[in-house]
Amino acid sequence: MKLGFIGLGAMGLPLAGHLLKAGHALAVWSRRPEASASLLAAGARGYASPAEVARHAEIVFTMVTGSEDVAAVVLGEEGLIRGGRSGNGQFSTLVDMSTIAPEMARQIATRLGELGIRMLDAPVSGGVTAAANATLSIMVGGPAETLAQVRPLFDLLGKTIVHVGENGAGQVAKACNQMVMVAAIQACAEAMHLAAASAVDPLKVQLALLGGAAGSRVLEVFGVRMVNRDFAAGVEARLHHKDFGILLNEAHRLACPLPIAALVGQQLNALMGHGWGRDDSASLLRVAEVGSARQ
């Protein structure tokens, strides 16, 4: 198939590579030319704008940072929509794998639909390792018939593909995922902090918890980072901060109380305030420590 990919960061680059290795023609655009160098060397074609990508691809994947970024890439002056069917392009389906506000996903889908272009919002969970190994969980919102067309491509990228509902539903599922996961990171931070404050070895506490009902992937991955005080970014905390802004705004819009998520959101605010946004979210441990030191 003739595919496009925009958003060649830590997650997008390996996903684009999987599509290219599977034999699909791949058109790419990147704000930073160096980001696409390895794909171009492997046979992808680079273009000067998203609109140009749309003129050479039937299905375009996007994986950029936030709602405004997706809107600019799709609807901007040089956006995909400018090179769609009305621009003599081939672009017929958008697959947005970014994490954005559900309402933004719905608005973009409606705008594209007016031009006969279909959209799936398909955010993912699993992180960089799962992206590299093509084992992501993909949460899909949009028409079932569009998913049926794209599913063979999703099978190249992920292990779990769930059709959650109509456009925007994939983003709601991702918000729920982030809420559960980051709350668990916060719980791990507090557990490791309590262990250290009690003069008990946090590593031994973590190992004990992993063997019981508290055991989880979050405790395994983030717990060991906290024990080792390894705050180099696996996932930059600023992205979780952005995701919590999305989910708390959605909760506010729906008058849906989320008291635990609100508290975790405040801890992420504190983390950002200390300048740790580009460090790992395991830095929530440092937030707990700073709060304790001030008492």
Active-site residue list: 174
Question: In whole angstroms, how far apart are CA 236 and each of 63, 65, 172?
Answer: 16, 12, 21
If phi over 0 gives left and psi between -120 and 50 gives alpha, with beta otherwise, what is residue 77? alpha
Say if residues 95 and 157 touch (Cβ distance below 8 Å): no
**Orientation angle between helical segments 259-273 and 237-254, nearest 10 degrees:** 140
Amino acid code (one letter) for 212: G
Say if residues 21 and 8 touch (Cβ distance below 8 Å): no
Q: Pick the closest to residue 38 from 4, 2, 14, 62 (CA basis).
A: 14
**Please, which residues have CB within 8 angstroms of residue 19's CB and are 6 or more apart in sequence?**
3, 5, 26, 61, 153, 156, 157
Q: Which residues make beta-bridge pairs with 118? A: 93
- Two tokens, residue 272: 């950002």
**Orientation angle between helical segments 169-197 and 284-293, nearest 10 degrees:** 50
The rounded distance, in Å, linking the Cα atoms of 103 and 250 is 8
